[in-house]
């Protein structure tokens, strides 16, 4: 987990500096009910955990590539063994999957009208990402998926989840100008 700090800390610094120089507006009003706030917090936690899992998958892919090409030098020597890295990846995916499940359930419970609130595409993409992560976890449990297969499924699920959030924001704000 410590090695993820090499990627996370610079990204966190960039995010903080961006917020300092380009302050945005709060998406939730002060009078927003606690249920919606809980949904947002769980969604952010799910996204954060799955982002960490994706970074872990990328490091795992780099480590795997370097080992296969017989160039295990530099940073690769500082990383834990491949099996440990892979186990950690699936622990993160498992936790992120649980959080994403709670996020989707709370979204369905507290969502008034999916189409009126313009979250149908976000919900659909998030559901597809949930299915991808569920299939990955099932494949790991049932068929022993690991290595490149696990990395590809992790990256695919994350891209879908990223599109659900950032893609829907881009479409709503840039294309539809809402």
In a domain, 42, yes or no: yes
Q: Does residue 77 contact residue 137 with C-beta atoms inside 8 Å?
A: no
Domain containing residue 62: 2-11+31-175
In a domain, 25, yes or no: no
Identify the pLDDT of residue 71. Answer: 73
Identify the pLDDT of residue 109. Answer: 83
In a domain, 19, yes or no: no
Q: What are phi and psi of 154, to 5 degrees?
A: -65, -45
Q: Is the Cα dihedral 166, 172, 176, 178 positive or negative?
A: negative
Identify the pLDDT of residue 159. Answer: 94
Q: Does residue 101 contact residue 130 with C-beta atoms inside 8 Å?
A: yes
In a domain, 109, yes or no: yes
Identify the pLDDT of residue 52. Answer: 92
In a domain, 24, yes or no: no
Integer Cα distance of 151 and 157 in angstroms: 10
The domain total for the chain is: 1
How many helices (DSSP H) and strands (DSSP E) are in the chain? 7, 0
The token duo for 157 is 């699920």
In a domain, 65, yes or no: yes
SS3 content of the chain, % helix, strand, coil (to 5): 80, 0, 20
Number of Cα atoms under 13 Å in the Cβ half of residue 146: 10
Q: Does residue 125 contact residue 167 with C-beta atoms inside 8 Å?
A: yes
In a domain, 23, yes or no: no
10 Å Cβ neighbour count for 28? Answer: 10
pLDDT by position in tens, the chain (length 178): 566 666 677 777 887 787 777 776 666 666 667 787 888 899 999 999 999 999 999 989 988 888 888 776 666 677 888 899 999 999 999 999 999 999 999 988 877 665 555 677 788 899 999 999 999 999 999 999 999 999 999 999 999 999 888 876 666 565 565 5
Q: Does residue 68 contact residue 147 with C-beta atoms inside 8 Å?
A: no
Q: What are phi and psi of 146, to 5 degrees?
A: -160, -175
Identify the pLDDT of residue 31. Answer: 66
The token duo for 116 is 């009126």
Global pTM?
A: 0.82
Identify the pLDDT of residue 99. Answer: 98
In a domain, 87, yes or no: yes
Integer Cα distance of 127 and 135 in angstroms: 12
């Amino acid at each position: 987990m410590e090695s993820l700090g090499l990627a996370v800390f610079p990204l966190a610094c960039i995010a903080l500096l961006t917020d300092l120089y380009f302050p945005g507006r709060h998406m939730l009003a002060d009078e927003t009910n606690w249920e919606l706030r809980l949904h947002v917090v769980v969604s952010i936690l799910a996204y954060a955990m799955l982002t960490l899992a994706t970074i872990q998958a990328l490091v795992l892919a780099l480590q795997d590539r370097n080992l296969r090409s017989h160039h295990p030098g530099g940073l690769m020597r500082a990383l834990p063994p491949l099996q440990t890295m892979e186990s950690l990846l699936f622990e993160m995916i498992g936790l992120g999957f649980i959080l994403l499940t709670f996020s989707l359930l709370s979204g369905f419970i507290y969502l008034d009208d999916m189409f009126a609130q313009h979250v149908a595409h976000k919900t659909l993409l998030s559901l597809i990402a949930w299915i991808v992560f569920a299939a990955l976890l099932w494949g790991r449990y049932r068929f022993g998926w690991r290595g490149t297969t696990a990395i590809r499924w992790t990256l695919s699920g994350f891209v879908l989840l990223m599109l659900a959030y950032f893609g829907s924001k881009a479409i709503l704000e840039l294309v539809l100008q809402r």
